[in-house]
Structure 1
């Protein structure tokens, strides 16, 4: 835009800017490279962050089994009508519960979900769906794990599934269904192996429901506020509640903090490099721009020339970096993210596009902020000032106490009078070193060996997954005991017990059970509860068995407030004579073992187990192998055990799989850390070289007044020593203070992580800082000499 009576000089400005770009190709290529790398890294990090948080939420939803944001149990007709017209709820789906399959302890039931619930909330979470939604009255569909639990190992479409279940009146019904569809899902992990067979709409219309639940999403971005307004609108009755799904509460906060840390590091590192590079670049061209100002160039025209060059360089760097980052996100991230989620997460195109656009915008902002101050300084200078311009200021400085060396004193004086340059160098180098150490800590903390050591106590674990207790026999255990290469075997046995239901004791427990399983048991009569109130009893782990007193029972610590110490109740084995026990203590949740029916798991002392009688079945075998013989033992065990109903896990196999999968993850982290460190080193070298060029006339003056080459080199070496001491001290301090804080974020992403202070990396960084800071000035000065 030109003002009235102002000559249009845009063509001249553009021509001069283009010629200037061609003259300074080497300098400009470095700026383009810096912008390219910053954009590329930001695209990868932001895309990874967006996808990782989304993947965490999806994984949480898969454990829950539905994407619905809130649920309403047993709605009235008036509430249903309100929801149809409410602006606060959308995607309302329905589930009707009809009964519990016999001999599953209320773990497996029969329910109907409408098409809206299936399409909006369930289908997005399932995998490998085969078949179709049930339509005919005798059709059903179910998850593969659930079919296996009721005895169907190899399902086929159209096969007959015989089901015996209890209805709301505790009447027994036997019916044959046709399997219309099956799929994979993970809801059994969170629900403790509880789930439902899904029947058709025709069946739902012909049967009496036990309970009804509505699933829905909330409108607007503020879910908590929408939830409160909807609860007030529905006028909830006793026993009804609206709660936000756990998957939507504070999802991904730790992940975003970690991603934000990396983004800040990359942005600051890029800013310091570009600012330093551009600042010295402009200072070299001060006299050239002074000549333009002398012949009439205005402040606006000077800015236009420089900003035109910046835009050209920025467009090249961001487009190439953004494109490379986008391709990298699609080529690398799917493999890399799926390491954490067992190959179940798909990369969304929109997520990568958003990450790329935001990265380009951030890179552009960094470049303009970096260049803004030098451009303003140059444009506002008077012609006479450009001729005498020097990139330092003669200011007062504090003399180092006790220093008698004039050469060291001169080195300190040089840093003080170029204080701004010195601070920029120190901050840039410190930031690069800190980033390297931070990523090194991340690398050290998520070693696959730590993962398997955290989650697998034994080299090989064999688990009975049938729920029947007959898959692993005593004879099989004897054969395993006789194998060579085994150093230790631990066996976990269990048996089914019934707990006599007492409403005064277990009412609060049942309410908690209902919240955790979404199973409505309000219609169960006392007889039904008595039949379904069973669970498993395990031997009390040794570390909790302080007193072997008869009648002592232990529970998981999650029931400490619901069933306090001293609570007395009766248990039976196979409905024989009752035996009275009392709650004597609790065990950690992480030591708890799988439940069975509706009753809580019990851990009994040896004296109590002997008193109640009954026969234990083998649930799990933990095996410790001799060094290097894991695979041989695993092969022999697989030949002894049956092919179905047993899960065999090997620590060595898991470690090998994780190490292989995470190799690209380590390469990516290593590349990022090396780049950030290299960026700070390059910035130091570039700034130091530019500074020495500016001081070339000063060195000649010092030589003329009698200062020898040896003394000049010593002065530069002392400057490097001061830089080394300051940077090394800051890096060490930050590493010592920030390591534990950073590890808190790492453990939020990977709970199995173990803290390992990167002491060797720190020592290496300090040594590298010393070599660079004390060696570069002398080398650069030597190259400047004719």
Structure 2
């Protein structure tokens, strides 16, 4: 066909075609706007969420760093500070520890010296607030609120004096300190930062085991396992050194790929949202394009006209979507967050130009690729074929009548008639539901309640601090029968699990005791075992350790940490013991067939006991204190046979209802009434949860915003698709009505179509979707939080999807036929 020079006419026809199909074009603009809206809001609020999560990580780790190097040597310090891969390298030294304030002699406050890099650059972002200045004089302290409270000066202020007894490498000292600064962090740490002058008097240095720590912040964000291993090798770590990467550094690549996967799925959802509408819009107007060819339009000109229409409509949709998306992301969501958030302060949303660029690019690509195939169909079809054109899959086929109602059979037929359209609708709905499940799973699993679950999952732990004192005469059985009875009688307390403790001596012997002590000194001591061996042989009592006694429940949890099984009955009857490994590099082969001989300090050598070693654990719950010799774990019954008066070191308490504040108030009230209240340390899941919530800021509210946006978009996606589908099927529905199909049958057919769409998408979401959710969750789970599937919200969404799939077709059908006869609707569909 010869091409006519009718560009002006093409522009006019494109304009008139747009004006003549207002409803269809409105649906198309709404789809494109919804696509751009989805990308803008989800990506903007998503970036804000992950930024808040990063802030939470900084607050929980206590500083901005990517790796921690323990006991760094001078050479390693210099190397790290000159390494181009490292942006900041801060140094701290734990140089002393407070022991007494004159009233309480079981303090836990640590004295730390910090260089300027760590304190000013890495530590400050992790603090709630700070007052005063970092110490310069030998007697000055920058003290945490937790340490102030422990030292009995909760209401202390800058300039106040504090007299403390502390211990360092040179022994014990008593000193009056002046508070030069006060700070509060999110973890409730009990620490006091000291001046360099004070640090130089303690005898400690950065290379001391358990004293020196170097905090490294890398200049890049992504690392492969190989790169991290290479950096570790370059440091030439000694046996006593550890290089620990933060969770997000160690899993940086998998986290990035997981986030990239979420972004990709979001873009696919956006693409499908528009593609289906474009496809229906063009293919259902084929007759019109065939008629255009009869007046001289070529295939190329039809392509131009279609692309002109699509990009005009697309431009309007993109602008509308960007405007509404920006308003939602930067005004509505922050407003909601500020309204429902429990924390004060400004609510800021992260702005990134790339988000807008991505939204425009994805929308334009969607319009282009979504228009290509329909445009080819419209351009290549002849006028005669156009008149007879039906949607794909609409050809006549012989079918058996089948069983079931007419409406049900027709619903199934319509679903299969245009398989491509049906597949796109189901896939689009499946992706919307799946990404909702994925995001809400990530958010719920990162919730404060999920994150604070400790190893034993106790609601409250109470510890007897007198057992940590050097003077054995100060040991007290704080948790006596009366104390435990008072807890038992409290209404909100369900169960109490005691952990018993006693001091033991492990005498020297050339087999396992020798192996253990050699490894212990090589790992934790700053002088060789050879210098202590003779003393250990002569006076083993100086190298004391501990034995802990546990009940059946504690043993069941202990079994989960063992690399090889231990017979429960043998353990409970005292025929085998388990050791706390204490981070030594001993393996199961080292204990195979070994026995351990020990005796209680109270009974002496006459009460020696020899037990086979069944296994080793790294869980420090079972080892409140570490000795030089092995810490032995036995059954509670066996320890009572050795010493019926063994001390209870800690109590693990479970409430009738988790996070029951009234039950906690009762338990802590009983502890406060004890004559040894200052020697009782508490660890509360409720308090931990509150600290996590504080560290999260408004992270969870922004996460809720993402979930609500995704739910809204999923619903609007289906509404738009069904709206376009019914609009394009008005002629077909009018024909069915004209041959006797009642309105009730019509509605029943639409309902069953909706249920088929809902059932198919929910089946895929519940299988493939949940599987993908688990994979993505594990890839972004750098904090190793247990996978938590939010059953109630997911079931709620499933019910909502079913309701939408039932109600939307009925409402749209009712709106489309309102006040119009079957003849009028048939005429409109062909016009």
TM-score by length of 2: 0.70
Aligned counterparts of 2:671 and 2:728: Cα–Cα separation in 1: 73
- Structure 1 position 250, deviation (Å): 0.8
Q: Distance in 1 between matches of 2:544 and 2:154?
A: 25
Instruction: Find 1:732's aligned residue among 763, 783, 789.
Output: 763
CA–CA distance in 1 between the matches of 2:366 and 2:542? 64
Residue in structure 2 matched with residue 619 of structure 1 by the alignment: 650
Distance change (3 Å), C-alpha of 1:306 and 1:488? closer
Aligned to 2:551: 541
Corresponding residue number in structure 2 for 1:3 = none
Q: Secondary structure at the match of 1:215?
A: strand
Match of 1:312 among 313, 316, 328: 316
Write the distance in 1 (CA, Å) between the matches of 2:620 and 2:649: 18
Aligned to 1:751: 786
- 1:199 aligns to 2:167 (yes or no): no
Indicate the SS of the match to 2:204. Answer: coil
605-614 or 95-104: which moved more? 95-104
Give the Cα separation in 1 of the matches to 2:659 and 2:112.
48
Name the residue aligned to 1:330.
334
> What is the CA deviation profile of residues 709-744 of structure 1, one whole-angstrom value per residue up to 9, with x for unaligned ones?
239997997798578557635643652565466456
CA shift for structure 1 position 603: 3.6
Q: Choose the corresponding residue for 2:43, options 46, 55, 58.
A: 46
Specify the alignment match of 1:133 in structure 2: 134
Tell me the equivalent position of 2:486: 480
Contact 1:553 1:581 in 2 (8 A): no
Matched, 1:112 2:122: no
What is the deviation of 1:199?
A: 1.9
Q: How far is 1:227 from its partner?
A: 5.0
Aligned to 1:490, the other structure's residue is in SS state: strand
CA distance in 2, matches of 1:440, 1:171: 54
Judge conservation of contact 1:446–1:752 (CA < 8 Å) in 2. no
Distance 1:451 1:265 in 2: 27
Q: What does residue 587 of structure 2 align with?
A: 561
What SS is found at the alignment partner of 1:619? Answer: strand
Show CA shifts across 1:267-325 (max 9, x none).
44443342233333345666766777747794575233542332122112222223312
Q: Which residue of 2 aligns with 1:248?
A: 249
Decide which moves more: 174-183 or 460-469.
Answer: 460-469
Aligned residue for 1:326, secondary structure, equals helix
Structure 2, unpaired ranges of 5+: 468-474, 508-512, 556-567, 825-831
Secondary structure of residue in 2 paired with 1:546: helix
Alignment of 1:103-252 (within 5 A): 109-148=110-149, 153-168=154-169, 171-185=171-185, 197-205=192-200, 208-212=203-207, 213=212, 214-224=214-224, 244-251=245-252
CA shift for structure 1 position 540? 1.0
Over 3 Å counting, the alpha-carbon distance change for 1:235 and 1:21 in structure 2 is same
| 1:620 CA displacement | 2.6
Unaligned runs of 5+ in 1: 1-5, 515-519
> Which has the higher mean CA deviation after the structures are superposed, 467-476 or 129-138?
467-476
TM-score (norm 1): 0.73
Is the Cα–Cα contact under 8 Å of residues 149 and 466 in structure 1 kept in the other structure?
Answer: no
SS at match of 2:92: strand
2:634 to 598, 601, 604: 604
* Cα 1:122/1:457, change in 2 over 3 Å: closer
Matched, 1:69 2:66: yes
Give the distance between the partners of 1:248 and 1:761, measured in 2 at CA: 34
Could you tell me which residue of structure 1 aligns to residue 560 of structure 2?
Answer: none
Q: Against the structure 1 CA distance between its residues 440 and 607, is the aligned structure 2 distance closer, same or farther, given a 3 Å change threshold?
A: closer
Q: Residue 595 of structure 1 aligns with which residue?
A: 624
Tell me the residue number matched to 2:90: 93
Change (3 A) 1:649 1:608: closer
Tell me the secondary structure at the aligned position of residue 569 of structure 2: coil
1:689 equivalent in structure 2: 727
Partner of 1:517: none
CA separation in 2, counterparts of 1:275 and 1:306?
12
Three-state SS of the structure 2 residue aligned to 1:183 is strand
The 1:400–1:196 alpha-carbon spacing in structure 2 relative to 1, beyond 3 Å, is: same
CA distance in 1, matches of 2:242, 2:120: 24
- Change beyond 3 A, Cα 1:245–1:396: same
Verify the 8 A CA contact 2:427 2:761 in the aligned structure 1: no
| Conservation of the 8 A alpha-carbon contact between 1:535 and 1:595 | no
> Aligned ranges for residues 676-715 of structure 1 at < 5 Å?
676-693=714-731, 708-710=739-741
2:136 counterpart SS class: coil
Distance in 1 (CA, whole Å) between partners of 2:443 and 2:85 is 45
Q: Give distance in 1, aligned partners of 2:69 and 2:403.
A: 81
Query: Who is 2:516 aligned against?
Result: 505
Do 2:93 and 2:206's aligned partners in 1 also have CA atoms closer than 8 Å? yes
In structure 2, the CA distance between the partners of 1:320 and 1:653, relative to structure 1 (3 Å rule), is same
Q: CA deviation at 1:79?
A: 5.0
Cα deviations across residues 513-532 of structure 1 (Å, max 9, x unaligned)?
x6xxxxx8569985999999
Listed as ranges, the matches of 1:432-443 within 5 Å are: none
CA contact (8 A) 1:717 1:777 kept: no
CA drift at 1:420: 3.6
Contact 2:48 2:349 in 1 (8 A): no
Distance 1:415 1:254, change over 3 A: same
For residues 174 and 434 of structure 2, what CA distance do their matches in structure 1 show?
Answer: 68
Counterpart for residue 490 of structure 1:
496
Match of 1:673 in 2: 711
Q: What is the CA distance between 1:396 and its match in structure 2?
A: 6.6
SS in 1 for 2:113: strand
Aligned-partner Cα distance in 2 for 1:531–1:362: 74
Is the contact made by 1:276 and 1:424 (CA closer than 8 Å) also made in structure 2?
yes
More moved, 675-684 vs 582-591: 582-591
Equivalent-residue separation in structure 2 for 1:181 and 1:58 (angstroms): 24
Q: CA deviation at 1:105?
A: 11
C-alpha separation in 2, matches of 1:554 and 1:693:
79
> Which runs of structure 2 are paired with 1:770-785 in the superposition (5 Å)?
785=822
Write the distance in 1 (CA, Å) between the matches of 2:57 and 2:542: 29
The change in CA–CA distance for 1:335 and 1:500 in structure 2 (over 3 A counts) is farther
**1:133, CA displacement in angstroms?**
1.2
